Amino acid sequence: MDLSSINPILLVASIMVSATPILLAAIGEMVVEKSGVLNLGVEGMMITGAVVGFAVAVNSTSPALGFVAAAAAAALLSLAFGLLTQFLLSNQVATGLGLTLVGLGLSSLIGKPYEGIKSPTLPKLDIPVLSDIPVLGRMLFSHDLMVYFSLALVVAVWAFLKHTRAGLILRAVGESHDSAHALGYKVVIIRLMAILFGGACAGLGGAYLSLVRVPQWTEGMTAGAGWIALAIVVFASWRPGRVAIGAYLFGGVTVLQLNLQAAGAAVPVALLSASPYLVTILVLVIISARGAHAAPASLGRPFHASS
């Protein structure tokens, strides 16, 4: 066993890259759930974002355009979910699962011509001064733009929910849609906007997979990342900061266990792989024991103005 072959600088850099897709998807889903809607279609929206982002980036040779298209495509898909659940009052769980199936099927259809093609990837930023700091520069300040964008988004979502009037209204809708409605807020429109935001974020996360982390298109390539994002929202008890911690924990453990194996450390692989899930259960137990489960009170409940 020779742990010295693990380079901590490269390790942290890899963790940041591997955490970014689930962080993007999770922060979007958190906003959706804060508004009282449970969208289980994250996986489907992510993979749609992955394929559309890849296709557009290849055709336009611009990864930035790929990300924009990915966000738009996934938001469009989430709009279908929004219309079904908010206007036609369909069951959110079933519709969300349906969205995942549609996304997986649609993406493999769109993706057929793009198998095995190489894509333009995002350049790594070279931030003056910061990137030149020894150790830290390579570790934290030499990533592509999306890594920083995802972190900035977490801060922005936190500030929005905590410090703005609009954020307060969104939370009010999620806690009690009847009260919010009585106060004159447009519950359905607000939820629809949250759903669109969640879709766009999932799309960005998917595109990050196909354009930066892997980078290529393969059918079914999200392989469950959307479900992990959903788990992280619960793990984070609907708080933006904890979403970031959760995503980095997941990314960290994944990359760390691979690195430990590569270095020949005799660690029980299965246990390490399961550890993020064990931590999630532990956090849930602690939250329940304290009696304050943080889920928005109206989460998953359908709303109609007549009720």
Site for other proteins, rule CB under 8 A = 5-7, 10-11, 14, 18, 21, 101, 105, 108, 111-112, 115-118, 121, 209, 213-216, 218-225, 254-255, 258-259, 261-264, 266, 268-270, 273
- Tell the smallest beta-carbon distance from residue 289 to other proteins (Å): 32
> Of the two residues 116 and 128, which places its CB atom closer to other proteins in the complex?
116
Spatial contact of 24 and 150, defined as CB atoms under 8 Å apart: yes
Q: What is the distance between the alpha carbons of residues 98 and 40, in angstroms, rounded to a whole number?
A: 9
Residue 293 CB, shortest distance to other proteins, in Å, is: 31
At closest approach, how far in Å is the CB of 257 from other proteins? 9
End-to-end CA distance of the chain: 65
| Smallest gap from residue 122 Cβ to other proteins (A) | 12
Cβ nearer to other proteins, comparing 272 with 284? 272
* Interacting residues of 269 by C-beta distance below 8 A, sequence separation 6+: 257, 261
Which of 222, 298 has the CB closer to other proteins? 222
Least distance from other proteins to the Cβ atom of residue 10, Å:
5
Identify which of residues 11 and 65 has a Cβ nearer to other proteins in the complex: 11
Residue type, 247: A
CB of 142 vs other proteins, minimal distance in Å: 14
Q: Which is nearer to other proteins, 34 or 143 (CB)?
A: 143
Give the C-alpha separation, 279 to 285, whole Å.
10
The minimum distance between CB 253 and other proteins, in angstroms, equals: 11
Cβ distance to other proteins smaller for residue 74 or 190: 74
One-character DSSP codes across 179-244 = HHHHTT--HHHHHHHHHHHHHHHHHHHHHHIIIIIS-S--TTTTTTHHHHHHHHHHHTTT-HHHHH
Position 156: which residue type?
A: A
Q: Whose Cβ is closer to other proteins: residue 13's or residue 233's?
A: 13
Closest CB to other proteins among residues 37, 221: 221
Closest approach of Cβ 53 to other proteins, in Å? Answer: 15
CB of 229 to other proteins, least distance (A): 13
Of 210 and 280, the one with the shorter C-beta distance to other proteins is 210
